[in-house]
Amino acid sequence: MTTFTFDKLVIFGVGLIGGSLARALRERSGAARGSRIVGVGRTRASAERARELGVVDDIASLDDDTELAAALAGADLVLVAAPVAQTQPLLARIAPFLEARTIVTDAGSTKSDVVAAARAALGERVSQFVPGHPIAGRESSGVEAALPDLYVGRNVVLCPLPENRPEDVARIDALWRAGGALVSTMSHEQHDRVFAAVSHLPHLLSFALVERILSAPDAALKFSFAAGGFRDFTRIAASSPEMWRDVCLANRDALVEELDGYTAVLAMLRAAIVAGDGAALEAVFARSREARTQWQERGGRASGHLAPK
């Protein structure tokens, strides 16, 4: 277990992602022993619920200057675990209360827009912001869904800025490792290209399949016979509509490029089906099966130069 300690961690958005990190630090690593975790929710009720469950020690309101200043006073770490569209206004809101020693990171699924938001909101203090993305989640949301082992063996990507101090990046690296994660680094541009393909596009397709069936005149009949394949393919369509709306719009260029490529593959498969070309279909299926099998045998991990360090 990575040795990691902190004085005060402030989490903006104590739901699945933020709540799971808080639980991991408190219940798995012991890093929170003697420390304080403060939760700031979009509503006071959500923050209160996190405190009731013992996920955070204290709560604060984003709308109350006095509470916000007290929450951030003495904080060495801040995690922004909110929908990516909220990043700029949230950072702008907390900027006046940030101490020079406080390191801020995020958990957004897109990074180029988050970096731009941080630069706009923090200006010369952007050096205090270390962009991050935990590759973990569940179809459930909210603090009730938070798990202490959500990040165990899961990837977290950091996208350091040129302005970041190496020791600050190392601190955020250690934060996630304390939760059991494997940490990699890449540029924010590369991050968005990669995750448009392996995360954003799959979510879009999952939502699209459910929408396609919903629009059919015999939708009820189709749903009544849906089984394992449908359940596995559409599991992620139970994810937060708000979050995935923001992700799709934030990473639109890379996502459209991947969607166009996927559409071309579908067109090729359609042509093979129309032509009765079983050999072409089987060749695609065989390549796909082999690639997925190899990925699964690696434990769903990256390979090559992007492997977690």
Q: Where are the domains of the chain?
A: 8-186, 191-299
Query: Rounded to whole angstroms, how far apart are CA atoms 180 and 151?
Result: 6
> pTM of this prediction?
0.85
Average pLDDT across the chain, whole number:
91
Span 127-141, average pLDDT: 86
CB 189 within 8 A of CB 112: yes
* pLDDT (tens digit per residue) in 182-226: 999 999 999 999 999 999 999 999 999 999 999 999 999 999 999
Query: Rounded to whole angstroms, how far apart are CA atoms 116 and 113?
Result: 5
- For the domain spanning 8-186, the CATH number is 3.40.50.720
Query: Rounded to whole angstroms, how far apart are CA atoms 46 and 52?
Result: 10
Query: Rounded to whole angstroms, how far apart are CA atoms 232 and 288?
Result: 17
* pLDDT (tens digit per residue) in 146-174: 899 999 999 999 999 999 999 999 999 99
* pLDDT (tens digit per residue) in 228-285: 999 999 999 988 898 899 899 999 999 999 999 999 999 999 999 999 999 999 999 9
Span 64-68, average pLDDT: 94
Fold matches, 8-186 and 191-299: no
Place of tokens 């799971």: 20
- For the domain spanning 191-299, the CATH number is 1.10.3660.10
CA 229 and chain centroid, separation = 25
